[in-house]
Amino acid sequence: MGHIQQNTHTLFVDAFLQNNRLDHVTQVMGYHPAYLDHFLKTQHFILRGDGPLPFDYRHYIAIMASGRHQCNYLITLQKQEFLLQGGDHTWLKGLDYIPQKLRSLYDINKILAHQPWLLNKSHIEKLTKGKDSWSLAEVVHAIVILTHFHSLCSFVFSCGVNQEVDQLGAHMYPTSNNAEATALLEPNNPNISKTEPKDIPAVANRKDWKNASNTSPPSPTEPEVGITTLMQRMKTLSERNEECSPVELTKRFENVETQSAELNAVGAEPQDVSADIYVFVEDPTFIYQDFAKRHDHDDIMTFRVQDYSWDDHGYSLVNRLYNDVGNLLDDKFKTAYNLTYYTMGGRTDVDTSRFRRAIWNYIQCLLGIRHDDYNYGEINQLLERSLKTFIKSACCYPERVTKKDYDKVLREFKHSEKVHVNLMVLEARMQAELLYALRTVNRYMTN
């Protein structure tokens, strides 16, 4: 194992004590101890802390959420936790065996995972009324777990996290169990993307995975913009005080939206997902559809962050219904959004805020959220096509992302920086989903 910073090590110890394992996700996040701290606290709180939902429900909801992206890794982990919490093992046979109450959550799960803008009051109302009804606090708790695991799926796939050693299909090395993670944790290992065993598929029993990712990748001939160019552009952007009309700005936002709609996901849909995942999935054909192409729902407006923001509204609501989680999430979002080491590739003292903001806003733009005070033209300047494709895939079709895609983008960036990008995908997506969900709950409460 490579050298680990002291604070990271402490976090690892804590994580191990909490989970009885140091899972690969934690290890990969170990690149960013400041963030990992908040992540672990939040995850621990929503799964094991005080909350309105019974413990077995929480883990089952996590399984349902991970099922939307066929994330075998998380499903297996959560199955174990579910059984440890004394969950009824017949439930693990599939959705047909669970209580009606849990079953009725599935609609929200499905919508939040893929097209959160479709969520409306009636969905919440269906849950809270009638037999086996949910309390609002329970709904909010469930929503937090759902969004957490949806976005965690993005991270798992986009970082190419392997199965745990004890899981079926885990890759076993003769000597080191965690070679994959080990390699990831050594940012200076130049061979990481070249060495043979690195593109072990995340879903183990898919032999064609290595090839699958090659079917519709961004053309390899497309030149990748180097860090130098990127920095140059950031500099120009900050120097130029562009005065453009608001109309122009709106057009740019729409441009980014429509352009992103033209991007294809990196890989094809995974072909043979094992049957034991599909028992947790209902309506598997319901997937992300570009926000710009929501023709049958023209009445759905762009979500303006200025009208319903996390800081002002989301936080207050979630904290009211599910005590303390607001602070944890708030810290986590803030850390993820503001995290920077002022480095880019090998360069130091770089102001990365523009680049980070572009990524964050692009992710939320994919989900139809607009920041009034952002010039979306910057996204096109700072995020090249291949990166946008990667982000879009990670955010919207995480199950199609492979380790190869991870290796292909941001070639000049360090691993820690790539993981950082993936963290932003996780957090921006989670915040977007939460905003939609909480706004809906708010609307349900006020009327």
Partner 1 sequence: MGTFSVIQEGPVNALALNRDNTQVAIGGRNVFKVYSIEEDKFKEIYNLRSSKHLNLSFSCNDISWSLIDDNYLATAATNGHVCVWNLTKMGKAMQEQDYQEHKRTVNKVNFHSSEPNRLISGSQDGTMKYFDIRGKTSVATFVSNTESVRDVQFSPHMPHMFAAVSENGSVQLWDVRRPDKCQQQFTAHSGPVFACDWHPEMTWLATASRDKTIKVWDLTSKPTLEYTIHTIASIGHVKWRPQRKYHIASCALVVDCSINIWDVRRPFIPFAAFNEHKDVATGVAWRGDPQVFLSTSRDCTLLQHAFRDASRPASKANPQGMSLNNTGEVLYACRVPANTNLSKMSGLIRKYSTSTMNNSSDQFHLASSVMHHFQTTLSQEPKCFYSLALNYVLSGRSLTEMCEHNATVAKEHGKSYIATVWRIVKTMYGEEYIQNSFNSHGCKNNEDTVSHTNIPAGNLALASLDHSTDNERQSRGGDTPAAQCSGGDDETETEDQVDHGLLYNNGFTSYSNFRLGLPRGDFYFGDNELDIELDGLNTVADFKSSFRNSQQLGEQQDWTLPNEAFNIRHEIQNHSPPPEQFPNQNSPDINDDAPIAVEDSAAQGVLTVSNIPERCVWDPSSIVISALKYHAMLGDVQTAACMLLVMGDQRRLLTGLDEATQEHWLLGYIELLGRYRLWNIAAQVIKLSWLPNVTQLNQQSTRINTNCGKCSKPLQRAGWLCDRCHTSEYALCSVCHQVVKGLYAWCQGCSHGGHLAHMMKWMSLNKTCPTGCGHSCEYS
Give the x-and-dash track for 318-357 against partner 1 (CB under 8 A): --x-------------------------------------
We find the least distance from the C-beta atom of residue 247 to partner 1, in angstroms, to be 6
Q: Please tell me the distance from the alpha carbon of residue 352 to that of residue 53, in angstroms, as a whole number.
A: 40
Q: Which of 89, 93, 306, 324 binds partner 1 (CB under 8 A)?
A: 306
Contact 410, 227 (CB under 8 A): no
What are the distances in angstroms from CA 399 to CA 211, 294, 324? 15, 22, 32
Q: Nearer to partner 1 by C-beta: 320 or 411? A: 320
DSSP 420: H
Q: Is 447 in the site for partner 1 (CB under 8 A)?
A: yes
Q: Nearer to partner 1 by C-beta: 85 or 319? A: 319
* Residues from 404 through 443 that contact partner 1 (CB under 8 A): 442
Q: Is 307 in the site for partner 1 (CB under 8 A)?
A: yes
Q: Give the residue from 82, 94, 93 showing the smallest Cα distance to 58.
A: 82
Catalytic site includes residue 71: yes
We find the least distance from the C-beta atom of residue 332 to partner 1, in angstroms, to be 16
Contact 26, 12 (CB under 8 A): yes
Beta bridge partners of 343: 348
Q: Nearer to partner 1 by C-beta: 304 or 347? A: 304
Q: Which range binds partner 1 by CB under 8 A, 205-213, 240-248, 283-291, 395-403? A: 240-248
- The 3-state DSSP class for residue 343 equals strand
What sign does the dihedral 232-236-238-239 (CA atoms) show? positive
DSSP 24: H
Q: Nearer to partner 1 by C-beta: 96 or 242? A: 242
Q: Give the residue from 202, 163, 153 showing the smallest Cα distance to 76.
A: 163
Contact 138, 52 (CB under 8 A): yes
DSSP 271: S
Give the x-and-dash track for 241-270 against partner 1 (CB under 8 A): --x-xxx-xx--------------------
Give the x-and-dash track for 372-411 against partner 1 (CB under 8 A): xx--------------------------------------
Q: Is 135 in the site for partner 1 (CB under 8 A)?
A: no
φ and ψ at residue 369, rounded to 5 degrees: -105, 130
Q: Which residues bind partner 1 (CB under 8 A)?
A: 243, 245-247, 249-250, 304, 306-307, 311-313, 315-317, 320, 372-373, 442, 445-447
Hey, which residues are catalytic here?
A: 71
